[in-house]
Every structure is written in C-alpha cells, then in structure tokens.
Amino acid sequence: MKNILIVEDEPGMRMGLKDNLEFEGFSVDYAEDGSAGLQKIRANSYDLVLLDVMLPEISGFEICKTIRKEGIKTPVILLTAKGEEIDKVLGLELGADDYVTKPFSLRELLARIKAVIRRGEQTGNDTLKEEIVTIGKLDINFTTYNSKEKGNDIQMSYKEFEVLHYLWKRKNETVSRDDLLHDIWGHDVYITTRTIDNFILKLRQKIETDSKHPKIILTVHGIGYKMII
Ligand code: CA
C-alpha cells in the first residue's frame, strides 16, 4: 500500500483529502503545520508528500528546499491556492515534482499522484511500460505527459492531455460532450459544452495536418466527437 503524507493547515481540506485518499486505497498520515510536516518527512519514508505552500511556521517552499538539501528524495506535490502568485518554476526548482492549484478535482489530483509515484518508482525500475502513442503530428507519452512534433517539445496543458487520452482510449467510438464534461471536468461547474468545443479546436490545431478539415478528431453532429486512428 502506498503511503502519503498530507501537510495542510486547513482542517476541512486536510480531512477531506485524507478520507478520499484512504478510500482510493492509500495509507495516509498528516501534519497540521510546517514544522510537524518537516519532522514527519525526516522521520518516515513516504511514497509521496502533498505539501500545502501557505503553512504556519514553515512554508511548503521552505520545507521542499530543506529536505532536498538534506538529500531526502521523497516525491512532493505542492498544493497552491488560486490567486497566490505561485511560480511553478520556483516550486520545481526547489525540488517539487509537481503542483496542483486549489480548487482541484479529486480526479486531477489522483492522476497527478499516480504519475508522480510512478515516476519515482521508475528511477529505480526501468521495466515500467510507458504509454507512448502517435496521434496525427504528435508523439505523445501519456505516462510522463510529454508531447513532441518531429522531436521538438510541444506544450500541452494537463487538461489537453486528459481530453486526448480520453478520446484515445475510446478511439473509433463516438464520445458525447456530456461524457467529456462529466468524466474530465467532474464537478467544475463553470465548464460548458462550449468550453469542450474550444478544447477540441485547440487539440486539432496541434495534431491535425489541416485543422479546418480534421481527419483524426471528427465532429459527430449533435452528439460529440470521434477519434479515428
Ligand atoms: Ca494553507
């Protein structure tokens, strides 16, 4: 069983995460402030730490910097609040493996947790099978969330990867807008089917040779989309 430490000062968030992660089969420990968190990371061996940035006593950034200096390699995902001017690059330079911005969906968090744990295991274990596929112009690695066109990195957002992966897993099937809305965005209430159409437009521009005449992500009128591979 994978072992996760949550360092989070907001009780609701802390206990909500604990319950959800336990439900997903993780063993969960928690700390309520920065110094308790730091002590726990030093004293125990976790598969992953979910580390809030704004914490009493010692910030998440400080903790991250400190443990990396001490040679502790435990994977870290930073939890940042929307509106906090959090520099992703700064967090990653300080040694965090990834970050999520509150409010996040449980689904997104779980995907990131699994990806970071898998990457951590991979460093000691080369047998992991990565999911690498070619979709149109892009070579996409769904394990590490990388995409390349003729060897050059192409920037894609997490959600773009998720939508593409969803369509890929259901290739040659019709996927309704409602399915995408429900399964990818979940409880994010401000998303409309229009947002999904915009996502598809952006994806087409990245993968299709001629995005005005798509051959890979087809529109199924009145229903949704179909990926033809
Ligand atoms: Ca906080």
Ligand 1 centroid, distance to 131 Cα (angstroms):
35
Burial class of residue 74 in the structure, from the number of CB atoms within 10 Å of its CB (0-12 exposed, 13-18 middle, 19+ buried):
buried
Q: How far is the CA of 34 from the centre of ligand 1 (A)?
A: 10
Q: Is 7 helix (H, G, I), strand (E, B) or coil?
A: strand
Q: Please name which of 40, 3, 9 lies closest in space to residue 24, comparing C-alpha atoms.
A: 3
**How many CB atoms are located within 10 Å of the residue 194 CB?**
9
* Predicted local confidence at residue 126, as pLDDT: 42
156 and 221 fall within a common domain = yes
Q: Which domain holds residue 17?
A: 3-124
> How close is the Cα of 55 to the center of ligand 1, in Å?
5
Of 37-41, 49-53, 69-73, the poorest mean pLDDT is in 69-73
CA of 59 to the centre of ligand 1 (A): 9
Asked whether residue 119 falls in the same domain as residue 142, the answer is no
Instruction: Measure 80 CA to ligand 1 centroid, in angstroms.
Output: 8
Q: What mean pLDDT value characterizes the chain? A: 88
User: What three-state secondary structure class fits 216?
Assistant: coil
Instruction: For residues 183 and 119, state if they share a domain.
Output: no
- Among residues 124, 151, 170, the one where a domain terminates is 124
Q: How many domains does the chain have?
A: 2
| 115-172 residue pLDDT tens | 998 887 766 444 445 678 999 999 998 877 889 999 899 988 878 888 999 999 899 9
Whether 19 and 8 have beta carbons less than 8 Å apart is answered as no
- Whole-number percent of the chain with pLDDT over 70: 91
Q: Which segments of 126-229 does DSSP mark as H helices, in order?
A: 158-169, 177-180, 193-207
**pLDDT band at 188, cuts 50/70/90?**
low
CA of 10 to the centre of ligand 1 (A): 6
* Residue 199 vs residue 83, higher pLDDT: 199
Q: What is the CATH number of the domain that holds 148?
A: 1.10.10.10
**CA distance readout (Å), 172 to 87, 113, 167, 169:** 40, 29, 9, 9
pLDDT in tens, 54-105: 999 899 999 999 998 888 889 999 998 866 655 666 777 788 888 888 888 8
Distance 13 CA to ligand 1 centre (A): 9
Nearest to 112 by CA among 97, 131, 126, 122: 97
Same domain as 186, residue 118: no
Looking at 124, 159, 174, which one is the last position of a domain?
Answer: 124
Q: How far apart are CA 160 and CA 163, in angstroms?
A: 5
Q: Are residues 49 and 152 in the same domain?
A: no
CA of 16 to the centre of ligand 1 (A): 14
Residues 206 and 126: their CA atoms lie apart, in Å, by 30
Q: Residues 159, 207: one domain? A: yes
Residue from 56, 29, 25 nearest 43 by CA: 29
93 and 151 fall within a common domain = no
| Final residue of a structural domain among 81, 108, 124 | 124
Q: What is the per-residue burial (b if ≥16 Cβ within 10 Å, else e) of 159-185? A: ebbbbbbbbeeeeeeebebebbbeebb
Q: How far is the CA of 121 from the centre of ligand 1 (A)?
A: 29
Q: Ligand 1 centre from 223 Cα, in Å?
A: 42
Same domain, 53 and 140: no
- 149 in the same domain as 111: no
> Residue 24 pLDDT > 80, yes or no?
yes
Domain harbouring 53, CATH code? 3.40.50.2300
Is the same domain home to 135 and 120? no
Tracing tokens 């998303």 back to the chain, one arrives at: 191
Report yes or no on whether pTM surpasses 0.85: no
Kindly state whether residues 87 and 45 are assigned to the same domain. yes
> What is the Å distance from ligand 1's center to 116 Cα?
22
Asked if residue 12 and residue 106 are part of one domain, the reply reads yes
